[in-house]
Structure 1
Amino acid sequence: MNNLKDLVRRNRSYRRFYQDITIPEYVLESLVDLARLSPSARNAQTLKYFISCDAKTNELIFPHLSWAGYLKDWDGPAQGERPSAYIVILNDVNISDTYFCDDGIAAQSILLGAVEQGLGGCIIGSVDRLKLQKALKLPRHLKIVEVIALGKPREEVVIEDVKDDNIKYWRDENQVHHVPKRSLEEIIVKCSGKEE
């Protein structure tokens, strides 16, 4: 359990990377393979994956993503700090319009695999899907669900306790990224034996 817990703790939402440290295509394929092996609702396996690890395609993807909604004064990673790879998670509507929670399971498998290899990433749900679909020339039956940005992390991300019920992540003067987490006691619901 300690190895898994360590991977989960190190699996933070990294948003700044060493852009010049490339990720080979075979590494991305191995991460997608982890997603492929993960559980799928009804075992429908509706998800497909577009992978990118070349600078030209990465430049097509980057402008269609929004970064860190709580950091209002930050427009996203600067040149040199951008992801060196992406995995775009797609739903094949020819199989089913519904992918249930498969995307979350697949994304977690991908990111845990990335952390295990000394990489990090961020699931990005704020995507201009139609423009990105067009930029990548994806067929219409493959709908963008989310994008996973990947690279060698260039930032430190720390977990801390939630204070005053404030769950917003923030950066300090040293650009350390702080992520408040609710306590285990707060999130476990115990049965009182009485109806409310």
Structure 2
Amino acid sequence: MDGFSKLVQACRSYRRFDEAAGMPREVLIDLVDIARQTASGANRMPLRFRVVCAEQERAAVFVHLKWAGALKDWDGPVPGERPAGYIVICDAGGGATTAVDEGIAAQTIVLAAASAGYGACMLHAFNKAEVARALGLAQNVAPLMVIALGKPGEAVVLEDMAAGAASTDYWRDEKSVHHVPKRALDQVLL
């Protein structure tokens, strides 16, 4: 499991990207192809995926996203640091397990992206109605999550939390390194 563990550790939420590096549409399509093959509750497969890579569409999505709730004085990535592409996970069928399917598909997408050298950030904080409008989604298709993707433009490090620590907030140091606290194994085992 060592190789998979390393992949999971490398698969962080990146909020700043090397926008100039781009991300080919074919890679985004490949990520969707992998996600569509994952498990789905009762095999209902209610999810649909909207790939966003054209510059105008990326800009139309970006303005409706909210970035990094724990970083109160940061408004999100500036031009040059913005995602090179997005995959919008949508619900087209509903059902009791849609949220589970969404999580499975999203984690699969970001792990596959990390394995190909890309970074990602799963975003639930966005104006769903405006994103749907910007992308011309049908009324029966509801955006659930936006996954921002691109070549990472920041360093992200994991750190074990001290026993009894109250805050799980991530933070940036004076060199703009993004620190992510994680509960230690002995803190999560019951």
Same fold at TM > 0.5: yes
How much does 1:97 deviate? 4.3
Residues 1-196 of structure 1 aligned to structure 2 (within 5 Å): 1-92=1-92, 95-98=93-96, 99-163=98-162, 164-189=165-190
Which whole-Å CA distance do the structure 2 matches of 1:180 and 1:70 have between them?
12
Shift of 1:136: 1.1
Indicate conservation of the 8 Å contact 1:31/1:113, yes or no. yes
- Which residue type is aligned with residue 41 of structure 2? A
- Measured in 2, the distance between the counterparts of 1:63 and 1:30 equals 26
Q: CA RMSD in A?
A: 0.9
1:64-110 CA deviation, whole Å, 9 max, x = no partner? 10000000000000011000000000000xx3344131111101100
What residue in structure 2 maps to residue 192 of structure 1? none
SS of equivalent residue, structure 2 residue 102: helix
**Aligned residues, how many?**
187
Partner amino acid for 2:171? W
For residues 6-42 of structure 1, the C-alpha deviation after alignment (integer angstroms, 9 at most, x for no partner) is 1100000000001111111111111011111111111
Within 2, Cα distance between the matches of 1:61 and 1:100? 22
Identity, in percent, stands at 44
Q: Is the 8 A contact 1:41 1:100 kept in 2?
A: no
Q: Distance in 1 between matches of 2:87 and 2:185?
A: 32
Structure with higher Rg: it is 1
TM-score when normalising by structure 1? 0.93
Counterpart of 2:157 in 1: which secondary structure?
strand
CA distance in 2, matches of 1:71, 1:22: 26
| Aligned mates of 1:3, 1:24 — CA distance in 2 | 26
Given that residues 91 and 97 in structure 1 are in contact (C-alpha distance below 8 angstroms), is that contact kept between their aligned partners in structure 2? no
Does the 8 Å CA contact 2:57/2:134 hold for their aligned counterparts? Answer: no
Offset of residue 165 of structure 1: 2.5
CA distance in structure 2 between the aligned counterparts of 1:96 and 1:148, rounded to whole angstroms: 20
Residue 139 of structure 1: how far off its partner (Å): 0.3
